[in-house]
Structure 1
Amino acid sequence: MLYPNLDLSEMFAARQSERSELHAHYLNEQLVRVLKTIGYDVGFKRGSGQYLYDRQDARYLDLLSGFGVFAVGRNHPVLRRALTSVLDSELPNLVQMDVSTLAGILAERLLERVPHLDKAFFANSGTEAVEAAIKFARSATGRTDILYCGHAYHGLTYGSLSLTDDMNFRGGFEPLLPGCTQVPFNNLAALEKALSTRQVAAFIVEPIQGKGVNMPNDEFLPEAAALCRRYGTLFVADEVQTGLGRTGRFLAVEHWNVEPDMVLLAKALSGGHVPVGAVLTRKWIFDKIFDRMDRAVVHGSTFGKNDLAMAAGIATLEVLKQEKLIENAQAKGERLQASLGRMVQKYELVKDVRGKGLMVGIQFGAPKSLALKASWNVLETASKGLFCQLITIPLFKDHKILTQVSGHASHTIKLLPSLTITDEDCQWIESGFDAVISASHRVPGAVWSLGKTLVDNAMRKSA
């Protein structure tokens, strides 16, 4: 071999036992500490479809799917072949003083699925797509203000963070972008009051909020879109997490028959291999930005149309279609929501099960029985939302199910599996949650012993 030190599979195998030390020394030491504290440092060495395998070759069902990135599963053979074919073809990638054939094909195929929109812009991530939408909206409307919803998450770069309602992320980085105003989710009166100033360029909203799996009322999105049209504001759907089949439709807004002025995509579009983000928009908006030849590159992203990312997007759309994964998301989501929903009546700690397709939230809350209430209050006093770790940690340790809470201090556990999951996987999920939630209702018990350990850790952190 010409470069014997560049066999990456051999490099991974030789040093994978050092992963924690490497990250602690050169990257994020606090993340390493978190994983070790909650027992998640098992050392995953392989991924296939909806499954992960640790250093002992134990199989786990991944309900995080890279926060929705692996909608078609990990290491899908069609994705791998598509990327290999690009590398083998020696294509003239990123010439810059040229246009990309593969970008044109991906744009064409995306817009076929969203026929009321006309143009596509490619970036590297969801947060870059949000940043582009902010710029496009301001330029196209001549207005400055941007509206976003309470509990929203739109990203962590400067503009998108300005639209993210979470002080755990915002703290230490303010002041953020001026002109960004929050309105309550599902509150049409507050939205209209803000829009009536006629200074709002765009209302950017997640059709289903990722942090908490918060659902819109049936009238919220259609009426919000109508209000935006009335007051000359662009309606922008952030479908970075909900799009590309996650909710049982290509876009989540399809459940409410809404046609946004812009749609933002990322995550699943990458196939889990090469990051890509996309803004789909109306032609008149696009033409306002790129309105003259000397403004042909007034906004861009150096790697945004790279051939590997475009190939990954094209292959992902093909897999979704050929394997009927959007239909599978709808069917498996209905099953899971029905079966998990029955736990609301069965267990007093389970308050709600909600979502669309394979974006499912299981919400826990304060119990009524005295013994459980006392234990719950101890956890809440130590750290809000800590109870959910009494569910996620045993799910991981005892049932080999990887999941997590849906946000900081949240009482909701979010299921976001690959769209490839089977009926056997659904049974795995149902039996695992039932066993752990049942155990959480026994006081004293092993789950609450874990709770005491977590409380002790929380107290030490705050001391």
Structure 2
Amino acid sequence: MSSEIIRKVKERSADNYGLHRQYINPQFVRVLEVIGFNRNYVGAEGAYLIDKNGKEVLDFLAGFGVYNIGRNHPYVAEVLKEVMEAKTASLVQMDVSPMCGMLAEKLASLAPGDLEAVFFTNSGTEGVEGALKFARQATGKHKLVHCDHAFHGLTLGSLSVNGNREFRERNEPLLPDCISVPFNDLEALENTLKGGDVGAFILETVQGKGVFIPDEAYLKGVRELCDRYGTLLIADEVQCGLGRTGKMFAVNHWDVKPDILVISKALSGGYIPVGAIITTRDIHSKVFDSMERCFAHSNTFGQNDLAMAAGLATLEIIEKENLVENAERIGNRIIDGLRELANRYEMLTEVRGIGLMTGMQFGEPKSMGLKASWKLLHKMNEDLFCQMITMPLLDRHDILTQVAGHGLDTVKILPPLTITEEDADKFLEAMDDVLKSAHSLTGSAWKTVKDLGVRTAKTA
């Protein structure tokens, strides 16, 4: 029996935005239309998207870090096809799957230290939820500490340790006794932990909103403080894990072992939602401490065979294609190139990067003409300036990027780990052109973004 779904999808492609406007999220469609990002992508392969006109777009967003191995990797697709043809006994529930055990075994071999007990989830936010529960049950302490500007997901538990006001508002009250401390501040952390009543300190090893990287001594200091005061350390590597930073896990850069490691996004190559909580056998056994509590934490789809097979295939690709090493090599090429551009363009004030996770920080210029336009733009909308970078990158150069977060003046790139030197150089040449335009008051960039501000205000 052949399906006609793909044929029907192609027939309805022209109505893509109308369907989403009517049935899903009309406000998001408005955003895409206002900033000119409504390209209607109909295909994808590797590091490139293909729009309805057949134009190739270099994807430096990678589904917010999902496509580390590139889009539609043929090996993962073939593995999934084989699993479906094998008609495996998936999700029996009252039995266990060999594929689940094999993926857990592989993750345990890659994870730092003695992290060997694995619980599979369907997403990063679900992984965070589970990690918080594990920490509370294992320690008997309910207080949780997180960092300012942290992003750990948007369900209520993970939102309680989310340091971004725009996500928390309209949802409070959240979980009680969730305390925020500044990132990279060991003194503030110790003052919060020294009462000995904190169950866990959760942090992104590299903060995704803005790409903030820990100081050299920070993570080792965090590890020491958590040990001293009996607090578990949860490393959220949903975005920065699985090769993204030039190491398999970002904690490897600082030789630190967390008590609980949370991963997701890139684990299945973008084919199937999947995530994992990786912890010590000691912590795991304090949660699942009897036969009666074998379901102390569970889900329905976490161990499904398609997700497990995709995870095994993805890890195989990461290793066989040397994608961790490629992320470090190409990432350094991009970071060095951007820092050279920062020496020439005053509004590019800082480049924060590690592997293929990079944030370009923009700041108020010193020259009078640019300074006046900068202030006017920020008075209109504090998030407008970065669209002066992302919009022409897509419109003129066919490169997809986006801002790193609200009110940060930061553009972030998360390309697939498969990108080549040619891809990196194409991006750097495009950035040079876009920055040149942004630094010329007579160019089209300022008019475009000011017009955008006016349109945004009218449609608000």
The 1-side partners of 2:422 and 2:86 are apart by: 40
Contact 2:342 2:349 in 1 (8 A): yes
Deviating 4+ runs (over 2 angstroms): 457-462
Aligned-pair CA distance for 1:459: 2.9
Aligned-pair CA distance for 1:460: 2.3
Partner of 1:365: 363
SS at structure 1 position matched to 2:89:
coil
CA deviations 1:170-191 (Å, max 9, x no partner) are 1111111111110110110010
* Equivalent position amino acid for 1:188 in 2: L
* Equivalent position amino acid for 1:13 in 2: K
Partner of 1:63: 60
The 2-side partners of 1:451 and 1:84 are apart by: 46
SS at structure 1 position matched to 2:343:
helix
Partner of 1:38: 35
Partner of 1:442: 440
The 1-side partners of 2:163 and 2:230 are apart by: 25
CA deviations 1:350-380 (Å, max 9, x no partner) are 0001111000111111000011001100111
Which of 260, 266, 278 is the aligned partner of 2:264? 266
SS at structure 1 position matched to 2:396:
helix
Partner of 1:154: 152
Partner of 1:101: 98
Using the aligned pairs only, state the percent identity: 48
The 1-side partners of 2:255 and 2:453 are apart by: 46
Partner of 1:403: 401
The 2-side partners of 1:179 and 1:37 are apart by: 40
Unaligned runs of 5+ in 2: none
Contact 1:44 1:53 in 2 (8 A): yes
The 2-side partners of 1:115 and 1:46 are apart by: 37
Which of 403, 410, 413 is the aligned partner of 1:415? 413
CA deviations 1:212-234 (Å, max 9, x no partner) are 00111111111001100010000
Contact 1:186 1:217 in 2 (8 A): yes
The 1-side partners of 2:254 and 2:435 are apart by: 33
Which of 328, 331, 334 is the aligned partner of 1:333? 331
Whether 2:425 is the aligned partner of 1:427: answer: yes
Partner of 1:206: 204
Contact 2:438 2:446 in 1 (8 A): yes
Partner of 1:124: 122
Whether 2:17 is the aligned partner of 1:10: answer: no
The 1-side partners of 2:264 and 2:224 are apart by: 26
Which of 207, 220, 223 is the aligned partner of 1:222? 220
Aligned-pair CA distance for 1:42: 1.2
Partner of 1:85: 82
CA deviations 1:128-186 (Å, max 9, x no partner) are 00000010000000000010000100000010011111121111111111111101101
The 2-side partners of 1:142 and 1:50 are apart by: 46
Contact 1:440 1:448 in 2 (8 A): yes
* Equivalent position amino acid for 1:276 in 2: V
Aligned-pair CA distance for 1:461: 4.5
TM-score by length of 1: 0.98
The 2-side partners of 1:380 and 1:408 are apart by: 12
Aligned-pair CA distance for 1:32: 0.5
Partner of 1:300: 298
Contact 2:184 2:218 in 1 (8 A): yes
Aligned-pair CA distance for 1:125: 0.3
The 1-side partners of 2:190 and 2:394 are apart by: 45
CA deviations 1:59-113 (Å, max 9, x no partner) are 0000000000000000000110111111000000000000111110000001101
Whether 2:117 is the aligned partner of 1:140: answer: no
Whether 2:449 is the aligned partner of 1:451: answer: yes
* Equivalent position amino acid for 2:312 in 1: I
SS at structure 1 position matched to 2:449:
helix
Contact 1:382 1:458 in 2 (8 A): no
The 2-side partners of 1:215 and 1:402 are apart by: 23
The 2-side partners of 1:185 and 1:26 are apart by: 39
RMSD: 0.9
* Equivalent position amino acid for 2:16 in 1: R
Matches within 5 A, 1:170-185: 170-185=168-183
Partner of 2:110: 113
Aligned-pair CA distance for 1:444: 2.3
TM-score by length of 2: 0.99
Aligned-pair CA distance for 1:115: 4.6
Q: 1:115 to 1:347 in 2, by over 3 A?
A: closer
Which of 366, 381, 384 is the aligned partner of 1:383? 381
How many residues of Structure 1 are paired with residues of Structure 2 in the alignment?
A: 459
Partner of 1:310: 308
Contact 2:138 2:286 in 1 (8 A): yes
